[in-house]
Amino acid sequence: MTNETLSPALCGAAHRLRLAQRLASAAFALGMLAWSGGAPAHGDVTPQAVDTRALPQLGKDWRAENPYRKHDAAIKIGASAYNQNCARCHGLEAISGGIAPDLRKLENDCATLRDAVKKSACVKEVDEFFAGKVRRGVTRNGAVYMPPFEAMLTQEAVWAIKAYLETRREKKL
Ligand code: HEC
Minimum CA distance residue for ligand 1 atom 29: 130
Q: Give yes or no: residues 105 and 151 share one domain.
A: yes
Over its length of 173 residues, how does the chain's per-residue pLDDT go in tens digits?
444 444 444 444 544 444 444 444 444 444 443 434 333 444 456 777 899 999 999 999 999 999 999 999 999 999 999 999 999 999 999 999 899 999 999 999 999 999 999 999 999 999 999 999 999 999 999 999 999 999 999 999 999 999 999 999 999 99
Cα–Cα dist 7/71, whole Å: 67
- Partners of 146 in beta bridges: 138
DSSP E strands, the chain: 138-140, 143-146
C-alpha triplet 37, 43, 46: angle, nearest 5°: 105
Q: Does any domain span residue 60?
A: no
Query: Does 102 share its domain with 30?
Result: no
CATH label of the domain that carries residue 160:
1.10.760.10
Domain containing 87 equals: 72-166
Does any ligand 1 atom lie closer than 6 A to the CB of residue 145?
yes
- Tell me what pLDDT residue 46 has: 74
The pLDDT, as a whole number, for residue 81 is: 97
Report phi then psi at 48, rounded to 5. Answer: -125, 140
For atom 5 of ligand 1, the residue with the nearest CA is 86
Does residue 133 sit within a domain? yes
| Interatomic CA distance for residues 71 and 56, integer angstroms | 10
In this structure, the answer to whether residues 88 and 153 fall within a common structural domain is yes
Tell whether 95 and 160 lie within a shared domain.
yes
Same domain, 95 and 24: no
167 touches 75 (CB < 8 A): yes
Question: What is the per-residue pLDDT for 45?
Answer: 63
161 in ligand 1 pocket by Cβ < 6 Å? yes
Are 38 and 80 members of one domain? no
Both 34 and 97 in a single domain?
Answer: no
Task: Note the pLDDT of residue 27.
Answer: 46
- Of 101, 100, 68, 90, the C-alpha closest to 167 is 68
pLDDT of amino acid 148? 97
- Same domain flag for 35 and 77: no
Q: Report how far apart, in Å, the C-alpha atoms of 137 and of each of 46, 62, 103 are.
A: 17, 16, 15
Whole-number Å distance, alpha carbon 27 to ligand 1 midpoint, is: 38
Q: How far apart are CA 107 and CA 105, in angstroms?
A: 6
11 CA distance to ligand 1 middle (Å): 62
Cβ of 49 below 6 Å from ligand 1: no
Q: Are residues 83 and 148 in the same domain?
A: yes
Closest Cα to atom 39 of ligand 1:
86
Atom of ligand 1 minimally distant from the CA of 149: 38
Provide the β-strand partners of residue 143: 140
Q: What is the pTM of this model?
A: 0.79
> Which residues have CB under 8 Å from 20's CB, separation 6+?
none
In a domain, 142, yes or no: yes
Residues 161 and 77 occupy one common structural domain: yes
Q: Domain check: are 101 and 150 in the same one?
A: yes
State residue 30 phi and psi, 5-degree precision.
Answer: -60, -40
Buried b (16+ CB within 10 A) or exposed e, 17-30: eeeeeeeeeeeeee
- Are 161 and 83 found together in one domain? yes
**The pLDDT value given to residue 44:** 55
Pocket flag, ligand 1, residue 133 (CB < 6 Å): yes
